[in-house]
Amino acid sequence: MRRETQRKEMSMASYVIQINEKTRAGQSLFEYLTSLGVVIEQLKPHRKCGLDEALDDVKHGRVYHAESAEDMFTQILGKDYVQH
């Protein structure tokens, strides 16, 4: 009789940590994790482009409407705005 072993799938947890590599402690931690063979993925911070920022402004109601340039200046500077 042949004995078959069942392999259990191991599910490993994923953790996200931020390491300040500009400090001695951060450099040491990074080197230690690397020496253990820990998979390290360096994530670059996501920076929004102008279109994404504009869409975010619309989504959160940070848009204003003016019927003309004069109306816009009146809204910005107040009713005491005198046109020159």
- The 10s digit of each residue's pLDDT in 13-31 is 888 888 888 999 999 998 9
Could you tell me if residue 71 is inside a domain? Answer: yes
User: Domain check: are 58 and 76 in the same one?
Assistant: yes
Could you tell me if residue 51 is inside a domain? Answer: yes
Could you tell me if residue 82 is inside a domain? Answer: yes
User: Domain check: are 32 and 54 in the same one?
Assistant: no
pLDDT at 14: 81
Segments forming the whole domain that contains residue 83: 47-84
Angle, CA 24 vertex, CA 22 and CA 29 arms, to 5°: 95
C-beta of residue 27 within 8 angstroms of C-beta of residue 21: yes
First to last CA, the chain: 100
The total number of structural domains that make up the chain: 2
Does pLDDT of 42 surpass 90?
A: no
- Min mean pLDDT across 24-33, 36-45, 71-80 is at 36-45
User: Domain check: are 37 and 54 in the same one?
Assistant: no
Could you tell me if residue 18 is inside a domain? Answer: yes
C-beta of residue 81 within 8 angstroms of C-beta of residue 73: yes
